[in-house]
Chains A and B, each alone.
Chain A
């Protein structure tokens, strides 16, 4: 796709050489990890196409929308309500990056021991290789963990249109009031950016579009409860990742099509892997494209991932927004209700998360839980110890993994994972 989109990328001020190198890594990784899988649902062809055009055709679409007067908003976190963005006919895209890039440049601005969601966000910007951030009319940061909060102060100097949203840290009435106030402030900022007044009918329509997308993902997740699992964890993760980039209506259709196919597979007793393959629930830190390392090792070491208790997964898509309200305030309240339930590790206390892990473990008929964390993510690392103990007291096999985006520990991880699967068999 490189030649076809060269001028577009140039127009966005990107570093073509570095970007070509990045795309080559992405292409190889996708081939070796995704295309090497067996028994993939045919419907995954759509996602193969999306991934092959993730920096090409999708960017062209966004630029066409911009040409037509619509705005593009980039965000790093699922606390940014897509409903409000859609209500103003704007498009929300995820900016998180799952690969290290321009690390030397990043480490001039951020300490080395900064987590792997923050550093690549800077790396992709500094290296001029992310067409999403270059296309964005507004980049929304959010005060979740300390690392992000402080980094946005520095990112503000690199991104001309930075907006920072405050996020509560406790599930109290005061916390909820803060989230509501912040969503109202965000609504105003979006209205100002787009020149569109968000009224109740617009917001309701935004809610409907995003709910449909979530319902489709819920349907997909539900089908993964079958044994044998009708789809690999890698493919399901990809669907959850593309959730953050794709046009929501088209995405919803594509997921529903795959679900039709998976239902037929389940009826015939077919699976992506044989019945009896150890079933793993991954819990923890989000995996952004192209971070496929852990599920790839898991699924080439003889197990299948059946669920992700993660921001890119069920933590991100759980719960719909109540569509029944008719006034603007009722709809905003419904949005706040939905997002305030997110059990991110930045909240204290955060007992809901453990309950959700236990619920998912049962629902997905999992045999074990792998708690996944990237280095230096304090909130999830601290919770991982508590969760490990809690699961052990319930005799649920659990393995804690702390890693990064490099491949240097793949051998050791493979040994640990294989031993874990031997243990749960």
Chain B
């Protein structure tokens, strides 16, 4: 049986199709302004028997297809465990949300926290800061790692941080130093969330933001622990959804 999982996030959509335990299809695209259309295009030509949707767009998708739905919290927990069977804590930072998730030895979610309505501490925050500093998003983390001087950004709010960054640029501060400070901001917030939920190892860092090398390094430093990062951290939710499609 072919099981599909689709994770319709605020910035990107990921699709995973499993045959048994083997991933036979793995695709991703931007959510754009019409995520349902994008999801349909992503699914074109893909054969599957059952599909499970997750991500913030799961309920809209449910209206357009006969997909079952699961929250991204459970999907990430299940996906993470499939990749790393011993995992106990997951930090997932996506485009719009960040979540800290604790799972027990049986893989069941025991506690979680999720950011409130604002973009602070999410991928969106990094994206806006990258654009303010003139970096393409995929180079932002690498450039930040080249920082030479430690500077601080005090604001967690995307709007205020943007003006803080702008004023630092105007003062002539090296933009790599500013980039590093921006990353520290997000990590500080994530660590606070993890501390409220769980610090039990192994800790997995997932979601699109885990592709950012600076975030991974800073998170390990701040936690003083090793952090696992899957090869395709943005696919973990779709993988979890595909596995859960087997339970429908």
- Residues in A lying within 8 Å of B, measured CB to CB: 392, 402, 408-409, 411-412, 414-416, 418-419, 422-423
Contacts and interface: CB of A to CB of B under 8 A. Distances in A.
Given A416-B112, A416-B114, A418-B71, 11 more contacts: A411-B56, A412-B114, A412-B117, A415-B56, A415-B71, A419-B73, A419-B74, A419-B109, A422-B73, A423-B108, A423-B111
Contacts of A412: 97, 114-117
Interface size range of chain B in the complex: 10 to 19
Contacts, number: 38
Q: Return the 4 tightest CB-CB contacts between A and B, nearest first.
A: A419-B73, A419-B71, A409-B117, A418-B71
Contacts of B109: 419, 422-423
Interface in B208-231: none
Contact of B70 (A409, A416, A422): A422
Contacts of A392: 111
B73 A415 contact: yes
A371 to B, nearest CB: 14
Interface of B: 56, 59, 70-74, 97, 108-112, 114-117
A316 B115 CA distance: 32
19 contacts: A402-B116, A408-B117, A409-B116, A412-B97, A412-B114, A412-B115, A412-B117, A414-B59, A415-B56, A415-B73, A415-B114, A416-B114, A419-B114, A422-B70, A422-B71, A422-B73, A423-B108, A423-B110, A423-B111
B117 A419 contact: no
A336 B142 CA distance: 68
Contacts of A423: 74, 108-112
Q: Is the interface of A mostly helix, strand, loop or mixed?
A: helix
A414 B70 CA distance: 11
- Best-surrounded residue of A402, A412, A423 (most CB of chain B within 10 A): A423
A422 B68 CA distance: 14
Contacts of B59: 414
Contacts of B116: 402, 409, 412
Contacts of A422: 70-71, 73-74, 109
Nearest to A400: B113
A66 to B, nearest CB: 44
- Best-surrounded residue of A408, A411, A415, A418 (most CB of chain B within 10 A): A415
Contacts of A411: 56
Nearest to B109: A423
A183 to B, nearest CB: 41
Contacts of A416: 112, 114
Contacts of B110: 423
A205 to B, nearest CB: 50
- Best-surrounded residue of A409, A416, A419 (most CB of chain B within 10 A): A419
B107 to A, nearest CB: 12
A402 B97 CA distance: 16
Nearest to A418: B71
Contact of B112 (A402, A408, A419): A419
Nearest to B54: A415
B108 to A, nearest CB: 7
Given A422-B109, A423-B108, A415 B72 contact: yes
Contacts of B115: 412
Contacts of B108: 423
B97 to A, nearest CB: 7
Contacts of A409: 116-117
Nearest to A417: B71
Contacts of B73: 415, 419, 422
